[in-house]
């Protein structure tokens, strides 16, 4: 069940270590704007990305800070303009802090925002201390991505965060931080619906991995991969989603787990 996937690179570091690459200095440490990776500074990432794309290899690049995301959008646009056309599906992994003016560029360049929603209820406990009240407004901007026609797919970032997608759906829908200090949601205007979150975990993920013809939805001709839950997450109160468990798992039409 293994297959060759995409090529991954790193444009910057992480918010927790103050190495995510921003336009402005950190509030908590005004000596730094974060770090671009050496392969960004020495031009190797650009060179490798052009070559990979010419060979029809998908490129997925880790970008956390707003400057890292802007840099990658610029690079992807340049590659699209200069390399021969094909069904490329650029991805930015995390797409964590994206200036509002850069969000529409994901759609125009057809860049997939590959994000991990659980991080928003974890980082939401402490992120404002790092970057201040203004920049957190465009942190994990799920609603803005969807409203601007961006293809949004969800993952876990396991082992850094829990593997359980139910918790990811709960995080995207409620944005209730782990310290329980945001019962109405951290940056609540960026909450999305359960239906949208499920789509991000299913058909959007299938598209992001060039598998939308065999995965992502239950229909004739596709793999019979799905789970049955012990409650209907579309009708229960959103804050109860985190307590939902899997009753049965079907893989390629075979029951491989039953509670």
Q: List the structure tokens of 221.
A: 């001709």
The rounded distance, in Å, linking the Cα atoms of 182 and 125 is 9
Q: How far is CA 10 from CA 21, 40, 56, in A?
A: 11, 9, 19
Confidence of residue 122 (pLDDT cuts 50, 70, 90): very high
Per DSSP bridges, beta strands 246-251 and 254-258 are antiparallel
pLDDT tens string 44-71: 999 999 999 999 999 999 999 999 999 9
Look at residue 194 in the predicted model and tell me its pLDDT: 98
The CATH number of domain 7-216, selected from 3.10.450.50, 3.60.15.10, 3.20.20.140, 3.40.50.2300: 3.20.20.140
Give yes or no for residue 1 having a pLDDT over 90. Answer: no
Look at residue 90 in the predicted model and tell me its pLDDT: 98
Look at residue 3 in the predicted model and tell me its pLDDT: 86
For the chain, the domains span: 7-216
Residue 128 CB partners (closer than 8 Å, separation 6+): 136
Task: Report DSSP letters for 17-53, one per residue.
Answer: TT-S--SS--SS-TT----B-HHHHTSHHHHHHHHHH
Look at residue 62 in the predicted model and tell me its pLDDT: 98
pTM listed for this prediction: 0.96
pLDDT tens string 14-45: 999 999 999 999 999 999 999 999 999 999 99
């Amino acid at each position: 069940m293994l297959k060759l996937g995409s090529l991954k690179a790193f444009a910057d570091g992480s918010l927790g270590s103050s190495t995510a690459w921003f336009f402005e200095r950190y509030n908590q440490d005004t000596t730094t704007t974060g770090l671009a990776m050496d392969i960004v500074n020495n031009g190797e990432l650009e060179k490798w990305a052009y070559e990979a794309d010419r060979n029809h290899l998908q490129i997925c690049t880790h970008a956390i800070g707003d400057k890292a995301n802007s840099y990658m959008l610029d690079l992807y646009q340049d590659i699209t303009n200069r390399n021969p056309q094909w069904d490329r599906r650029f991805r930015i992994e995390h797409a964590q802090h994206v200036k509002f003016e850069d969000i529409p560029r994901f759609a125009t360049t057809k860049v997939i925002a590959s994000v991990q929603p659980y991080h928003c209820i974890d980082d939401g406990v402490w992120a404002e201390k790092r970057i201040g009240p203004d920049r957190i407004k465009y942190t994990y901007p799920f609603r803005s991505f969807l409203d601007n026609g961006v293809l949004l797919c969800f993952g876990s970032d396991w082992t850094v965060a829990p593997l359980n997608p139910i918790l990811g759906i709960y995080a995207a829908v409620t944005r209730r931080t782990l310290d329980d200090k945001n019962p109405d949601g951290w940056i609540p205007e960026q909450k999305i619906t359960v239906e949208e979150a499920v789509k991000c975990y299913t058909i959007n993920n299938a598209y992001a991995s060039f598998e939308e013809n065999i995965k992502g939805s239950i229909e004739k001709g596709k793999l019979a991969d799905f789970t049955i839950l012990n409650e209907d997450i579309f009708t229960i109160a959103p804050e109860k989603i985190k307590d939902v468990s899997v009753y049965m798992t079907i893989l390629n039409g075979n029951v491989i787990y039953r509670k």
